[in-house]
Amino acid sequence: MKYALVTGGSRGIGRAIAIRLAQTGLPVVINYVSNEAAAAETKNEIEQAGGQAELLKFDVSKPEETERALGEWEDSHPDDYIGVLVNNAGIRRDNLMIFMQNSEWHSVVDTTLNGFFYTTRRLLKRMMTRRDGRIINISSLSGLKGLPGQANYSTAKAALIGATKALAQEVAPRRITVNAVAPGFIESDMTKDLNQDELKKLVPAGRFGKADEVAALVAFLAGGDAAYITAQTIGINGGLYS
């Protein structure tokens, strides 16, 4: 059986993606780090709607922990494989660079960029053996245009786009696609501290996006109709560009 794994899948955009993928018929593995209650709530919502979901706790920024968790999952699912991977886990630690602490830089880069590397590398073997896979990396408008106070976040999200393009070319002969989705301002936990009234003035559509709208795009990229789409970065931003 083919599964989908959504890293950072307990809340916000990740939660919406997990629910939407389950609606397509995929059993979903919901990764989380600390908020077990939110992860369990997402799992319960999927199951109440008739879908299948599992929880898998590990910190994507820690290579040994990632290896161990994914290895244990594969050992307990010998006939299954994770064929859809959504690298969604990410954090913000905004600060002007002159004031930015080492920990603020490394925590953001470690989670978004290194987490992509550790998780994707571990799951690629089975995808390549099966000659089937969809890898969808959640980047950001910040990675396309840069935003002040987000040198760490912009760096990690921009590097994720570069990695997407490179990996897509490596695995395309094995019928694996790799794409990035770059949301703009989306209503979620990560944007609740932003001044929406002011920022909406910058968006031609005049509003923040919804997590479900991002999830719909991810579900399309995860499906069979997107088999010839790879190495792309698709913005979902209401018309906001650099």
The closest of 129, 28, 32 to 84, measured between CA atoms, is: 28
CA distances from 108 to 13, 100, 112, 115, 137 (A): 17, 12, 6, 10, 15
**Residue 183, beta-bridge partner list:** 236
Cα torsion 201, 92, 46, 41: sign: negative
32 is catalytic: no
Catalytic residue among 3, 32, 153, 241: 153
- Tokens 């990632």 correspond to 66
Residue 212: partners with Cβ closer than 8 Å, 6 or more residues away? 16, 20
Residue 100 CA to residue 161 CA, distance in Å, equals 23
Q: State how far the Cα of 79 lies from the Cα of 7, in Å rounded to an integer.
A: 22
DSSP letter, residue 224: G
Judge contact between 90 and 64, C-beta under 8 A: no
Helix (H) or strand (E) holding 222: helix 211-222
Catalytic residues, which ones? 153
